[in-house]
Structure 1
């Protein structure tokens, strides 16, 4: 599925891999909708009748981002794991960035501690379990280990687990969609594992990047949707209160820097605009009991 790429990718696939069924979407459908198009063609979901003729429904499906590269044997390692572990709903490889450095492949489901560290980072805790990370020693080992959810950059899911949980939630356009999906898969009784022997390179920029307003707003829109779907009322109210306070402080810092001439004026203005937009999404709760009914 090509999500309206503008770099000639769809044409290259059609030319060099004519045996591939290419769906070239004229619009960017987002991660969830784009993957669901492919899943439906394979026979999954309520619209399974739209399955491509002549296609046998697979025992497992690999979601793979276009900015990834499978290392030799990675696909076989993942499929072999699912064959030998029939209780597993899905699995992911160990990821590394394009420069060879380590990337976390999987995380714990988000809670209050992770939100606090996101809003008020403490360097010595950012790679800890409090921030949803699994120990590096598990990735360096040979033994598969259970995880809450894996990154959607490279994720293999068993057909029965997809049947049990349904397709990805298309209300997410960007961010948190694979987390939501794996929460439903876990609730259906199918655990997910990381298989460190399978390696995939993820060519995502891991260095500090310029602030991007649209992506920041999309991130928090998705997180708020996830909180609303899976967290109890008291926790959702507290999360929104924490986020509102954190955003207020960030807006104040950005305005102070803008007034003093420190930093890039355009970027600071984008930050302020993004934080204000997120506050509007929340209804600007200023108290733990505001902005949300139970």
Structure 2
């Protein structure tokens, strides 16, 4: 059998403190596969590029002239990688555990287009990284019960919060985008990531599109990695964009009546949390009730201080 060829594709933006540990985890994390590192840098203004030269001198680095967003960065990295058996889309704040990539690759089949690992946070606690497709009922369950409680019931929650679901391998509608292995066959059939999602919901759109193309997103707990996670939950602009893009994605795939129901549930969720003093929800609520803001392109100027990629997608 030939050794599988995997391109590890990373998007960076002012990610200098993360580079050494990321690169340090790759040798053992990708043991057993023929791997190469490709980094798309979104015009970092810190020492990200010098850290890459220091710790990964043989990496292919795509130097984008501006912050193009996460999806565009992923596409640029895959283009630069060229033909491989699979592409591992990896956040800069992920640390691969030994044997992670091989376990992911071994799970791929013609039907399974994407494989995701079991993720833990910086303290070693399991991350609820699996998701169900967004629906109006799940949006209301989240709004009225909270994501964690609603997630225990498949019809009511988008986040899969039942710990038993993380013990065995199985298919999932989608998964958080920090660590996703995509087969080349899947990539060629389903196309590139949608760059209109500057940040947030880009992996949701892609994973659900893969399902529409008759392929499966698969969870493999034998593959493990650590995701340090960032802080969108504490950043009003990031949280507002996360919420707006969820509505945008739902609107793109559903009719007007369903979209209104989803939007109302989101209003209730963010409104109730803003009454509790959450600045992030207050910012999201302001945008939700102003349609022009929802349609506005949120580009690099609007998110000038956002670090990519390290979002908390809960």
Q: TM-score, normalised by structure 1?
A: 0.77
Q: How far apart, in 2, do the equivalents of 1:244 and 1:163 lie?
A: 38
Given candidates 177, 181, 190, the residue that maps to 1:165 is 190
Q: Residues 219 and 273 from structure 1, CA distance in 2 versus in 1: closer, same or farther, beyond 3 angstroms?
A: closer
TM alignment of 1:93-172, pairs within 5 A: 93-122=117-146, 124-129=149-154, 130-132=156-158, 133=160, 135-141=162-168, 144-172=169-197
Q: How far apart, in 1, do the equivalents of 2:191 and 2:217 lie?
A: 16
2:235 is matched with which residue? Answer: 212
Shift of 1:126: 4.2
Q: How far apart, in 2, do the equivalents of 1:158 and 1:217 lie?
A: 32
Shift of 1:184: 1.1
Shift of 1:136: 1.8
Q: How far apart, in 1, do the equivalents of 2:216 and 2:174 lie?
A: 9
Structure 2 unmatched ranges of 5 or more: 1-39, 295-314
Q: TM-score, normalised by structure 2?
A: 0.73
1:37 is matched with which residue? Answer: 76
**8 Å contact 1:221–1:281 — kept in the other structure?**
no
1:88 is matched with which residue? Answer: 112
Helix, strand or coil for the counterpart of 1:102? coil
Q: How far apart, in 2, do the equivalents of 1:200 and 1:188 lie?
A: 28
Structure 1 unmatched ranges of 5 or more: 44-56, 255-262, 285-294
Mean Cα displacement is larger for which, 241-250 or 61-70? 241-250
Q: Residues 249 and 74 from structure 1, CA distance in 2 versus in 1: closer, same or farther, beyond 3 angstroms?
A: closer
In terms of fraction of residues, the more strand-rich structure is 2
Q: How far apart, in 1, do the equivalents of 2:271 and 2:123 lie?
A: 36
What do you get for the CA RMSD once the two structures are aligned? 2.5
2:69 pairs with 1:23: no
Deviation sequence 1:220-245 (CA, Å, 0-9, x none): 22112111111233211221233345
**8 Å contact 1:88–1:191 — kept in the other structure?**
yes
Q: Residues 135 and 242 from structure 1, CA distance in 2 versus in 1: closer, same or farther, beyond 3 angstroms?
A: closer
Q: Residues 274 and 110 from structure 1, CA distance in 2 versus in 1: closer, same or farther, beyond 3 angstroms?
A: closer
Paired residue total: 252
**8 Å contact 2:244–2:287 — kept in the other structure?**
no
TM alignment of 1:234-249, pairs within 5 A: 234-249=257-272
Q: How far apart, in 1, do the equivalents of 2:211 and 2:173 lie?
A: 8
Mean Cα displacement is larger for which, 128-137 or 173-182? 128-137
